[in-house]
Copies of this chain bind each other. A is one copy, B any other.
Amino acid sequence: MTRDFSDTRALFDLPEGVIYLDGNSLGPLPKAAAARVARTVTEEWGQMLITGWNKAGWMEQPSKTGDRIGRLIGAEPGHVVMGDTLSIKVYQALASALEMNPTRRVILSDSGNFPSDLYMAEGLCRTLGPDYSLKTVAPEQVLEALDDTVAVMMITEVDYRTGRRHDMAALTARAHEVGALAVWDLAHSAGALPVEVAKGGADFAVGCTYKYLNSGPGGPAFIYVAPRHAETARPALSGWLGHEAPFAFDLDYRPGHGIERMRVGTPPVLQLAALDASLDIWDKVEMANIREASLALTDRFIAGVEAACPGLELATPRDHAMRGSQVSFRHPEGYAIMQALIARGVIGDFRAPDILRFGFTPLFINGEDVDKAIAIIKDVMDGALWDRPEYKTRARVT
């Protein structure tokens, strides 16, 4: 296990002249992933053809890779599986959790949750019927909003805009006290900080892999089901690969054992290959060391930007316990400022209405990068370099 992340930095393909502070949105390319994907395409798909499902282990990949993710999120072995997108995994977790709490009809979430989680919950409620509803409160009000009407609490641990972190153990304990189940979205925590789904008592957890886990654009999501629910959770999206015997081709569905039932369709073999190569890097590190380095980087960035740029308002908690692995600042011209920064090689992103977001990923970002980024941000702010028409025209995606 390494604590010297200069070793791991060398394992990524980072473009020249770029300080990439957006690994919290799309992680960079692990050098080994290119070769791994090429091998999966030419040697496995190309040469093994259909026999790759057995010979290359494609069919088992979702559970094998799931266990590698499991180590990073504090899951018991055998209780995480890969597949689909995070939105689909949210739907699965919510649908199962609601059915396990059949006398209640309310999903509780917060306005800092990623909108897709809220949208999927809305869609599920509408399918379930008019008695079901999604209740959304401010992030600070979740604890007090937990009462005996709540069937399921659905929370994203780290707020995608502000980087504010919820207390998983405390909220889950309170949810259980009032008889609710807890579904945790780890999109901005898996690979960002030590997560403890088992110790924290999560009933379900879901997350994506293309952010901190560097699996590439469109990499698969994961789902965790607590062992106590593994054989009782009903899969609402009951696809054939979650069947007890997919290749018996029975006409009736019988859920597979444990986490296998949360599989749906054919796994995305090429995307899984990229993820698997990326996880080889994660095998070399401990999350505790990543966290220590991450907090040092975010502290340094906050102090530097606040000293250099009084016009930027910190949106991220100063309290370490309440912070993820990103730092956000607010500014009314946030969009244009970010475009100006990107033009100068500092890549972060903008989130409406006014958030400048910077992700810190110790595997490939170090203190020197932070200092360089601060200097460039200072230049842009001091000279109002963002105040040009070309930076203010919004593209469809940022």
Whether B266 contacts A208 by the Cβ 8 Å rule is: yes
Whether A87 contacts B239 by the Cβ 8 Å rule is: yes
- If the complex has contacts A47-B15, A87-B239, A349-B50, are A397 and B111 also in contact, measured as CB distance less than 8 A? no
Distance in Å: Cβ of A18 to nearest Cβ of chain B: 7
Whether B239 contacts A116 by the Cβ 8 Å rule is: yes
Which residues does chain B contribute within 8 Å of A286, judged by CB atoms? none
Chain copies in the assembly? 2
A118 CA to B238 CA, complexed, in Å: 9
A20 CA to B351 CA, complexed, in Å: 50
Which of B25, B116, B265, B269 sits near A50, CB closer than 8 Å?
A: B25
A20 CA to B270 CA, complexed, in Å: 21
Distance in Å: Cβ of A92 to nearest Cβ of chain B: 10
A37 contacts chain B at the CB level, 8 A cutoff: yes
Interface residues of A in 12-63 (CB under 8 A from B): 13, 15, 18, 20, 22, 25-26, 28-29, 33-34, 37-38, 41-42, 44-47, 49-54, 58-59
A227 contacts chain B at the CB level, 8 A cutoff: no
A164 contacts chain B at the CB level, 8 A cutoff: no
| Chain A interface residue count, Cβ-Cβ cutoff 8 angstroms | 93
Distance in Å: Cβ of A101 to nearest Cβ of chain B: 15
A251 CA to B118 CA, complexed, in Å: 7
A86 CA to B239 CA, complexed, in Å: 9
Q: Which residues of A contact B (CB under 8 A)?
A: 13, 15, 18, 20, 22, 25-26, 28-29, 33-34, 37-38, 41-42, 44-47, 49-54, 58-59, 84-88, 91, 95, 111, 114-116, 118-120, 122-124, 126-129, 136, 161, 208, 210, 216-221, 234-241, 243, 247-253, 264-272, 274, 342, 347, 349, 351-352, 395-398
Whether B395 contacts A235 by the Cβ 8 Å rule is: no
Whether B237 contacts A120 by the Cβ 8 Å rule is: yes
Which residues does chain B contribute within 8 Å of A251, judged by CB atoms? 111, 115, 118, 136
Whether A85 contacts B115 by the Cβ 8 Å rule is: no
Which residues does chain B contribute within 8 Å of A87, judged by CB atoms? 237, 239-240, 264-265
- If the complex has contacts A88-B265, A266-B85, A270-B216, are A34 and B29 also in contact, measured as CB distance less than 8 A? no
Whether A218 contacts B49 by the Cβ 8 Å rule is: no
Whether B123 contacts A235 by the Cβ 8 Å rule is: yes
Chain B: which residue is nearest A116 at the CB level? B240
Chain B: which residue is nearest A217 at the CB level? B269
Q: Can you name 15 extra interface pairs (CB under 8 A) apart from A22-B49, A50-B349?
A: A15-B49, A26-B53, A28-B49, A29-B45, A34-B38, A52-B217, A86-B266, A87-B265, A88-B265, A119-B239, A124-B236, A127-B128, A216-B269, A218-B266, A218-B268
